[in-house]
Chain A
Amino acid sequence: MKNCFKEGAITPEFIAESIAHHQVKTNIGAHQIFLGQVRNDIIDNKEVVAIDYSSHEEMANKMFHTIRENTFDKFDLTCMHIYHSIGLVKTGELCLFVFASSAHRKTAQQAIEFIVEEIKTNVPVFGKELFKDNSHVWKVNK
């Protein structure tokens, strides 16, 4: 089972490298990328400074795998990748990187929307939103 988790934030360098790896695949005509970034939510007048992500990692990786299989069944993709942060990610840093590639743009666009919604709804990842004063709340996906 592929491990889709990366410790800490996902760096722009990692994403750039990922894009570069796909230049040899010349049957691809469109890449679609989704990046999730930690937002400085204001909750009860306190500003979120980071999210500490935790997960049932084994179950989550199985779920990422299922999402991958379902996506390939539904969409004619050339390739796709999912990376999610585990541990501490500060506001402004990236916590989710989804990358879908296909011959034509529509397929990749629709696939990305499907994958991101599936991740938000079905993958057991939990986010502890931390404030400057060391207090916290637990994030819930809307």
Chain B
Amino acid sequence: MEDIAIVILAGGKSSRMGQDKGLIPVNGKPMVQHLINATKPLKLKTIIIANNSNYDAFGIPVYKDIYQDSGPLGGIHSGLINSQTSRVIVLSCDTPFVSTEFIEYLIKIANTHDIIIPKHGSKTHPLIGIYSENILNVLNESINNNKLKVMELIKKTSHSIHTVTSEFPEGIFENINTKKDLCAQVNIKPFGIIAEHMKGIDLTIEIPNKRNTNLRSYFNDKWPFLNKISYTIAIDQELREELNKNEHPTEIAILPPFAGG
């Protein structure tokens, strides 16, 4: 039996996003897929904890919470039980940029403590770390007493908080929690022949803006007829085609060739 396994927590209700977080695409892939890709090179047993059968599609064993509605603690509990290893590396769907190198690093620094979690700058990341089966008693007790805060549990155990500020970029811990973090809600304003083609299409759309987005390729994919039409794009009335990271314009105009005069 292996000593350590990877547990990807996807179970959250995610009411803030209106759909199951891990399945929301970021840079073209569901968030959970980013983590699966990062863990693959490590060749460790990997499982997903989720209460939604849509996760079965990723080709990795999926287990439900044993304690329902117990938040991340319920997920860690189910992970420790179902992994059948003495320790697990816990990752969370809403931090999809955690890298292979970082997970390797976690394994390397693992010591005799029962919980090992990283700290970057002033921020501690309790849901990216190593958890040992030695905490199961404390974990059961916390859940039964409805004390579901992760940091409270950690304080009750033998733990180590490891500072990695100089070793890793802050971006790998980036937490994606709300739809606003992922998308810009914009009004599309088509003109001329393009307005004619887009009659009846919903023109309030969400465009991913977690990274810079090339709007021409985005539009051509979304509305294939545009591949055959010559047009320019104006973001808030400025002619340009790249939507910047975290930009929230009020309108994006799609302009066919000009014909004034």
Contacts and interface: CB of A to CB of B under 8 A. Distances in A.
Interface residues of B, number: 15
A123 B253 CA distance: 13
A56 B259 CA distance: 12
Contacts of B61: none
Contact of A141 (B191, B237, B257): B257
A88 B119 CA distance: 66
Contacts of B257: 140-141
Nearest to A127: B259
B189 A125 contact: no
Given A62-B237, A124-B234, A124-B253, A56 B191 contact: yes
A59 B258 contact: no
B193 interface: yes
A74 interface: no
Given A56-B191, A62-B237, A124-B253, A119 B259 contact: no
A59 B232 CA distance: 13
A38 B256 CA distance: 20
Given A56-B255, A138-B193, A120 B261 contact: yes
B232 to A, nearest CB: 8
Contacts of B259: 125-127, 138-141
Interface in A75-133: 84, 95-96, 116, 119-128
A70 interface: no
Interface string B223-261: 000000000001001000000000000000101111111
Interface in B156-210: 189, 191-193, 195
A58 interface: yes
A9 to B, nearest CB: 14
A138 B192 contact: yes
A99 to B, nearest CB: 14
Contacts of A124: 191, 234, 253, 255, 258, 260
Given A54-B192, A124-B234, A141 B256 contact: no
Nearest to B253: A56
A54 to B, nearest CB: 6
A71 to B, nearest CB: 15
A5 to B, nearest CB: 10
A8 interface: no
A96 B260 contact: yes
Contacts of B253: 56, 59, 124
A82 to B, nearest CB: 10
A126 B258 contact: yes
B73 to A, nearest CB: 53
Given A126-B192, A128-B192, A84 B237 contact: no
17 contacts: A54-B191, A56-B237, A56-B255, A60-B260, A84-B260, A96-B261, A125-B261, A126-B193, A126-B255, A126-B259, A127-B260, A138-B192, A138-B193, A140-B259, A141-B257, A141-B258, A141-B260
The 8 A-B residue pairs with the shortest CB-CB distance in the complex, in nearest-first order: A125-B260, A126-B192, A127-B259, A139-B259, A59-B237, A138-B193, A140-B257, A96-B261
Interface of A: 36, 53-56, 58-60, 62, 84, 95-96, 116, 119-128, 138-141
